[in-house]
Chains A and B, each alone.
Chain A
């Protein structure tokens, strides 16, 4: 009997772990808040919401880092810009005074999310336009420097809470849905994450995605083919920043609080760890990485207040023994770049 026949069960269903995951995951994710309710532990839904939101950020970073080879150490900046867009629009909505005198505030999610993506996209365009003139370690340092500049800018913005951050008293509203209900908000995030990941998977396999992957593998080759490298990198960087901004906007809604800490370099580092942990340049890698990192943090923090001492070596071990990330446990192909 050949291998592929062996991998099929009695019903002819493909039983390879990667495929099985695709079938099981949606069911588990959809049932999760109801199981949490049944267990009487609402914190499960809260935890899952956080993971789902950070999946969006990690997958977005992965477009730049894993597929495009742009090792950005400043993606927390876009998370923060997304979050602050929600926070600032809300505070202007409450105060009734337009932002900059002409942009009216709002608490409508259908407006705040696109606004957050536009704002973070513009931030990514500005930071990318300058940073992408460099490469290698310089690029890492410059993106880090820009993110820290934004961090200190928001620390100094007393009108928006300074280093205390600002509270968003109520989650942004959606027509027909009650976003204040944690289960509803979880599903809103889940649908957005699925949509964003779906879009990224199309992008990665499109003409644009192939050029981006080519640039990662050999800039000289792509240049000699006649590709204006800089434009493609910048476009990918902007898309990546927009997705991270979307995650930031959801995070601001989720915790009803935004602060400069969202832009801190440790947050950039955490996003990078998620991508590397899960598998660089794979579609599902960042998802697994986000789930693993936040899950581990939560479990270890429940055990001991010195959880970081356990977390550090654990991460090192995972990266040593699974150099292609957690994704390689689930699917043979997850380690490759074809997603």
Chain B
């Protein structure tokens, strides 16, 4: 069988006495949407931070298309095709929506040690940026400063910025959190459209979305994967019901 896009083996992260990631193994295939669910504090965000190289794991291996990336810095991983969105939005508040995406396009184009030409009027950055904004449903809000966007729009912008990096593997940390019903549906359609083209690891609390979108689901509790499989298998799993879906006492 071909190498999976992402393969994680025996990943451990300790914060002092707390084991936030506990011998976690998981893979994401090319074009697959793999959902990672689990209660608050299960270690989902910590896991994403380790995949991106923002946190150093205590043990374990991370491979992207068979290449070990566990020792690389974030910039090198991004160059190899990793991208992420943040649970708590991380945008440039003084800039417009378009500026945020254009900067992501600029970074993908190579180093920015260019000191002379005006970058804010560079069509080779602005035009593709408009396309990503449109893709995320923000075409009409291009020139609005981030601070004036609604929470839902900021979440959409997070996605547009991440897409502008043209990742092969996109790590999504609760993209639906705080969205209204119609925004949520829009986001779900968008992710559905990306399936098959890029691999995605989707961390999400909204079960309806997860069951509708995911090819596979893994359940994380106390840093450990307690179950993994398709939607039907997860819904049927007694451990998951007890530990997570809160139906143990029924």
Contacts and interface: CB of A to CB of B under 8 A. Distances in A.
Interface of A: 202-203, 205-211, 213-214, 217-218, 220-228, 232, 235, 336-337
Interface string B92-121: 111100010001101110001111111110
A218 B78 CA distance: 17
Contacts of B54: 220, 223-224
B116 A206 contact: yes
Contacts of B73: 228
A214 B103 contact: yes
Given A203-B116, A208-B112, A220-B86, 16 more contacts: A202-B118, A205-B118, A210-B99, A213-B92, A214-B95, A214-B103, A220-B90, A224-B54, A224-B74, A224-B90, A225-B107, A225-B108, A225-B165, A227-B75, A228-B73, A232-B112
A299 to B, nearest CB: 35
Given A207-B119, A208-B112, A221 B107 contact: no
A86 B108 CA distance: 43
Interface of B: 52, 54, 73-75, 77-79, 83-84, 86, 90-95, 99, 103-104, 106-108, 112-120, 122, 161, 165
A221 B94 contact: no
Would you call the interface of chain A mostly helix, strand, loop, or mixed?
helix
A221 B116 CA distance: 24
A55 B105 CA distance: 35
A228 B112 CA distance: 10
A225 B113 contact: no
Contacts of A235: 113
Contacts of B94: 213, 217, 336-337
A226 B93 contact: no
A337 B146 CA distance: 14
A157 B88 CA distance: 53
Contacts of A228: 73, 75
Contacts of A202: 115-116, 118
20 contacts: A205-B118, A205-B120, A206-B114, A207-B106, A208-B114, A211-B103, A213-B92, A217-B93, A223-B54, A223-B74, A224-B54, A224-B84, A225-B161, A226-B74, A226-B77, A226-B108, A227-B107, A227-B112, A232-B112, A337-B94
A200 to B, nearest CB: 10
B86 A224 contact: yes
A146 B115 CA distance: 28
Contacts of B122: 207
A232 B103 CA distance: 14
A223 B83 CA distance: 11
A227 B122 CA distance: 19
A221 B91 contact: yes
Contacts of B75: 223, 226-228
B79 A226 contact: yes
B115 A208 contact: yes
Closest 4 CB pairs of A and B: A226-B78, A221-B90, A207-B112, A217-B92
Nearest to B146: A217
A221 B114 contact: no
Contacts of B118: 202, 205-206
B114 A207 contact: yes
A51 B120 CA distance: 32
Contacts of A214: 92, 95, 103
A24 to B, nearest CB: 25
A137 to B, nearest CB: 22
A228 B114 CA distance: 15
A232 B165 CA distance: 19
Contacts of B52: 224
Nearest to A200: B115
